[in-house]
Amino acid sequence: MSVEHRRYPRFQIICPLVFAGDGVVGAGRMTDLSVKGCAVESDVMVVTGLYLEVRILLPDSWAPLRVDLAPVRWAVPGKFGIELIKMEAHDQLRLTRFIQALSSVQPASDQMMPNAHHGVAPIAQAEE
């Protein structure tokens, strides 16, 4: 099993989200999060390079976190990864504070593996 090193810590957390891009509108759930990106599970197919607008329903507030520019960096059937490139300053601050709160609950690792558990769960090894 190979170990994948990441630049930013990731947290396994399940949050609903909606997204829209060039001819694509869909809903799904975020399955992991870092300050620079997240993985999304969705039945809606997207392609690498597609630019999306995303609204993530974090558990810290009723208001969605607004991401105005989120390119799809990888995609496989049922799951894709996005980079969180552009958002308003208050949303960026909210995301940063949310991740800081997560890291105070459970220290993150730079080595992560997707899992099926709900909640926050940093994991030590990456999938092969």
Q: What is the pLDDT of residue 87?
A: 97
Q: What's the fold here for domain 15-105?
A: Thrombin, subunit H (2.40.10)
**17 burial via Cβ count (<10 Å: 0-12, 13-18, 19+):** buried
What's the mean per-residue pLDDT of the chain? Answer: 82
Alpha helices, DSSP H, located in the chain: 89-105
At residue 113, the 3 state secondary structure works out as coil
- Condensed to tens digits (0 to 9), the pLDDT of residues 58-91 reads 998 889 999 999 999 999 999 999 999 999 999 9
Share of the chain above pLDDT 90, in %: 61
Question: Taking a C-beta distance cutoff of 8 angstroms, is the pair 14, 114 a contact?
Answer: no
- Condensed to tens digits (0 to 9), the pLDDT of residues 15-34 reads 999 999 999 999 999 998 98
The domains of the chain are located at 15-105
